[in-house]
């Protein structure tokens, strides 16, 4: 199948069941170790600047609020009494104003400098040759590293800054000075790293012969000393780098495959792609899903009588999370303590519980007065993260009332390494904290990836959409954002995508199977898997879905790929 590289330019995030879009206003946090100093030209206040993630920004600039004059460094001292106002700026982000008061020097003698405790620490205390250690200097508990001088004790050599990179193996002693106060001595142990000779690597394939139809595939595995190192190796096909470890092609022929890792090059294997006359259609469902089993359909209750009218995103997220947990259990794993699993047991109305108990989590632990997003709800449940949703304007979308993170205890160590996380989500390009990478769920938006404003028309647009769906199901499954009209700027709705049909002759998607929280109007509501035909709307050239459903027709706004457990190497 033809591969199309998609660049996610800037995604403000479509709010399922709500048309409001978040407004991003990054802000800095400016603080000082003192709010008052003595106007003696020596007493000083030291500033610290942090971004919205709590990270210290060493390259931020401090300005006098009245004159807009930049402060040299991060400290302020003066001989003139008065009240001074400051603000910090880093790129386009600014802080609020902070005041420091300089009081008259009444001549009262201060404490003997040597009565103050100057403490020097180093982290780490043991490094290898050519590695770097970082020092910290504190005066009575206050960080004064930026203004202190750190010395290598042998020869009393002053360091440039607060780091030291060793070139020889030894034990080094250091001390610091600040305002005529001398610190304790710390030792840094430097060792020579013993480099073991790297073992040979080997590449193998699941299939040595495939059909050149863009669907049939072979997967490669790279091992080193018995360990699977596929994700650390680079695989080459006829001299070109393969993206991932799965190989498909529409060009018949013979392909030479090898891998590299560091200085090691593997054996070569040969793959034969046989010419075929592509006929018929293929149906692909998410792992563990068939037409009759493995899928979920959380429905809203009574059109929102219990406050769920805006919660299509939560119903879709619940379906997707439960599918992921099913895959985790199918791999022989046990869900972490506290994870919510299985059919609903909590009832908010006389219509009984939701199809999944996960929906009750979002019902009770989120403010659902507005629509929300799958790419924020799912990481919130697993890790307690919002994938940038924390920067949304207050009142513009659904927000959590609790911190979530039901899988947080095992996520980074036992789960994240075993799922595909090659997606990204650029909310505001170039703004630190809003350019998110290495995600396992994201949003691919119709405006930027296969449609409006590009050269894609007709079959070209459907081809781009088809390629993206196939790639998405290679790693897991997906949610969709749809509109009931061809105007994709209107309020949108979230549904769950479980499978697709593809024409083997054209490589175009012809049908989709979807569950929808709004497809039934009255109780009792039962799970329903809807079948839609896929085509191009002749008027606006959007992806059009047509089926025997409540809507009759709807239009795709965005795809939300979601990786399954065990998809790290596929």
Instruction: Read off the pLDDT of residues 223-254 as tens digits, 9 standing for 90 and up.
Output: 999 899 998 999 999 988 888 898 988 788 99
Overall number of domains in the chain: 4
Confidence band, pLDDT 50/70/90 cuts, at residue 530: very high
Which domain CATH number covers 411? 3.90.70.10
DSSP designation for 412 = I
Residues 181, 125 share a domain:
yes
Residues 387, 309 share a domain:
yes
Whether the predicted model's global pTM rises above the 0.95 cut: no
Q: Counting beta carbons within 10 angstroms of the beta carbon of residue 477, is it exposed (0 to 12), middle (13 to 18) or buried (19 or more)?
A: buried
165 domain-assigned: yes
Residue 119 has pLDDT above 70, yes or no: yes
Average pLDDT, the chain: 85
Q: How far is CA 132 from CA 158, 160, 175, in A?
A: 16, 13, 17
Residues 163, 92 share a domain:
no
Q: How far apart are alpha carbons 12 and 25 in whole angstroms?
A: 13
168 domain-assigned: yes
Q: At what angle do helices 358-365 and 312-330 cross, to 10 degrees?
A: 140
Q: In the listed set 276, 310, 326, which residue is the last one of a domain according to the structure?
A: 276
Q: How far apart are alpha carbons 317 and 378 in whole angstroms?
A: 6
11-20, 232-241, 435-444: lowest mean pLDDT where? 11-20
Residues 302, 256 share a domain:
no
Q: In this predicted model, which residue has the larger pLDDT, 384 or 485?
A: 384
Give the list of residues 6+ apart from residue 494 with CB closer than 8 angstroms, or none: 16, 17, 312, 313, 315, 316, 374, 479, 480, 481, 482, 517
Q: Counting beta carbons within 10 angstroms of the beta carbon of residue 233, is it exposed (0 to 12), middle (13 to 18) or buried (19 or more)?
A: buried
Residues 296, 232 share a domain:
no
Q: How far apart are alpha carbons 29 and 54 in whole angstroms?
A: 8
Residues 541, 405 share a domain:
yes
Residues 333, 313 share a domain:
yes
Residue 278 confidence (pLDDT) = 53
Asked if residue 228 lies in contact with residue 220, where contact means CB atoms within 8 angstroms, the answer is no
435 domain-assigned: yes
Residues 244, 292 share a domain:
no
Q: How far apart are alpha carbons 490 and 315 in whole angstroms?
A: 20
61 domain-assigned: yes
- From the centroid of its chain, how far is CA 292? 33
Residue 292 confidence (pLDDT) = 82
Q: How far apart are alpha carbons 162 and 514 in whole angstroms?
A: 58
Overall average pLDDT of the 294-318 stretch = 84
2-16, 373-387, 452-466: lowest mean pLDDT where? 2-16
Percent of the chain with pLDDT over 70: 86
97 domain-assigned: yes
Q: Rounded to 5 degrees, what angle do the CA atoms 247, 249, 250 make? A: 170
Which H or E element spans position 127? strand 126-128
DSSP designation for 454 = S
Q: Cβ–Cβ contacts within 10 Å for residue 520, how many?
A: 17
- Most confidently modeled range among 8-17, 89-98, 244-253, 343-352: 89-98
Residue 114 confidence (pLDDT) = 46
12 domain-assigned: no
14-28, 178-192, 294-308, 343-357: lowest mean pLDDT where? 14-28
Residue 307 confidence (pLDDT) = 76
User: Which of these, 33, 43, 32, 50, lies nearest to 86 by C-alpha position?
Assistant: 32
163 domain-assigned: yes
Q: Structure tokens of 329?
A: 């259990």
Q: In this predicted model, which residue has the larger pLDDT, 559 or 395?
A: 559
Which domain CATH number covers 213? 2.60.40.10
Residues 130, 226 share a domain:
no
3-state SS string over 510-528? EEEEEECCCCCCCCCCCCC
Q: In the listed set 103, 132, 155, which residue is the last one of a domain according to the structure?
A: 103
End-to-end CA distance of the chain: 17
Residue 48 has pLDDT above 90, yes or no: yes
Residue 517 has pLDDT above 90, yes or no: yes
Residues 522, 393 share a domain:
yes
Confidence band, pLDDT 50/70/90 cuts, at residue 495: very high
Q: In this predicted model, which residue has the larger pLDDT, 25 or 13?
A: 25
Residues 225, 334 share a domain:
no
Q: In the listed set 251, 276, 301, which residue is the last one of a domain according to the structure?
A: 276
Residues 294, 262 share a domain:
no
* Domain span at 225: 201-276
Confidence band, pLDDT 50/70/90 cuts, at residue 37: very high
Confidence band, pLDDT 50/70/90 cuts, at residue 196: low
Q: Structure tokens of 547?
A: 């089926």
Overall average pLDDT of the 193-222 stretch = 86
């Amino acid at each position: 199948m033809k591969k199309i590289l998609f660049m996610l330019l800037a995604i403000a995030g479509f709010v399922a069941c709500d048309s409001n879009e978040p407004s991003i206003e990054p802000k800095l946090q400016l603080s000082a170790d003192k709010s008052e100093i003595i106007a003696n030209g020596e007493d000083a206040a030291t500033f610290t600047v942090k971004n919205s993630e709590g990270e210290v920004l060493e390259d931020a600039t401090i300005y006098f609020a009245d004159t807009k004059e930049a402060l040299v460094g991060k400290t302020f001292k003066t001989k003139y009494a008065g009240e001074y106002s400051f603000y910090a700026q880093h790129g386009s982000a600014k802080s609020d104003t902070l005041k420091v008061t300089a009081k008259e020097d009444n001549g009262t003698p201060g404490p003997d400098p040597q009565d103050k405790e100057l403490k020097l620490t180093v982290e780490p205390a043991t490094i290898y040759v050519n590695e770097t250690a970082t020092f910290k200097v504190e005066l009575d508990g206050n960080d004064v590293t930026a203004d202190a001088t750190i010395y290598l004790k042998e020869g009393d050599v002053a360091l440039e800054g607060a780091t030291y990179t060793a070139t020889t193996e030894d034990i080094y002693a250091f001390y610091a000075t600040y305002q005529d106060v001398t610190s304790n001595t710390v030792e840094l142990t430097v060792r020579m790293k013993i480099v073991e000779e790297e073992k040979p690597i080997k590449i193998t394939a699941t299939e040595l012969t495939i059909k050149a139809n863009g669907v049939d595939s072979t997967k490669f595995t790279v091992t080193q000393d018995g360990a699977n190192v596929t994700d650390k190796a680079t695989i080459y096909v006829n001299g070109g780098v393969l993206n991932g470890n799965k190989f498909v092609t529409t060009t018949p022929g013979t392909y030479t495959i090898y891998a590299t890792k560091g200085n090691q090059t593997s054996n070569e294997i040969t793959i034969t792609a046989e010419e075929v006359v592509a006929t018929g259609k293929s149906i692909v469902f998410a792992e563990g899903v068939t037409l009759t089993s493995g899928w979920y359909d959380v429905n809203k209750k009574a059109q929102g009588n219990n406050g769920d009218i805006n919660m299509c995103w939560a119903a879709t997220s619940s379906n997707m999370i439960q599918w992921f947990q099913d895959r985790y259990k199918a791999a022989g794993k046990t869900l972490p303590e506290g994870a919510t699993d299985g059919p609903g047991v909590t009832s908010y109305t006389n219509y009984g519980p939701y199809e999944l108990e996960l929906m009750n989590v979002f019902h009770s632990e989120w403010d659902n007065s507005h629509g929300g997003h799958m790419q924020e709800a799912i990481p919130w449940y697993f890790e307690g993260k919002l994938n940038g949703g924390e920067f949304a304007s207050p009142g513009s979308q659904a927000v959590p009332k609790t911190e979530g993170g039901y899988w947080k205890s095992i996520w980074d160590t036992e789960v994240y390494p075993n799922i595909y996380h090659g997606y990204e989500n650029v909310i505001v390009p170039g703004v630190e904290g809003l350019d998110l990478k290495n995600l396992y769920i994201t949003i691919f938006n119709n405006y930027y990836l296969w449609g409006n404003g590009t050269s894609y028309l007709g079959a070209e647009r459907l081809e781009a959409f088809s390629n993206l769906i196939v790639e998405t199901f290679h790693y897991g499954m997906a949610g969709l954002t749809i509109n009931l009209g061809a105007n994709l700027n209107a309020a949108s709705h979230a549904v769950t995508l479980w499978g697709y049909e593809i024409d083997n002759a054209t490589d175009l998607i012809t049908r989709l199977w979807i569950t929808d929280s709004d497809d039934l109007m009255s109780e009792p509501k039962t799970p329903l898997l809807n079948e839609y035909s896929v085509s191009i709307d002749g008027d606006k050239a959007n992806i059009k879905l047509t089926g025997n459903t409540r809507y009759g027709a709807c239009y795709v706004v965005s795809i939300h790929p979601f990786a399954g457990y065990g998809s790290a190497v596929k």
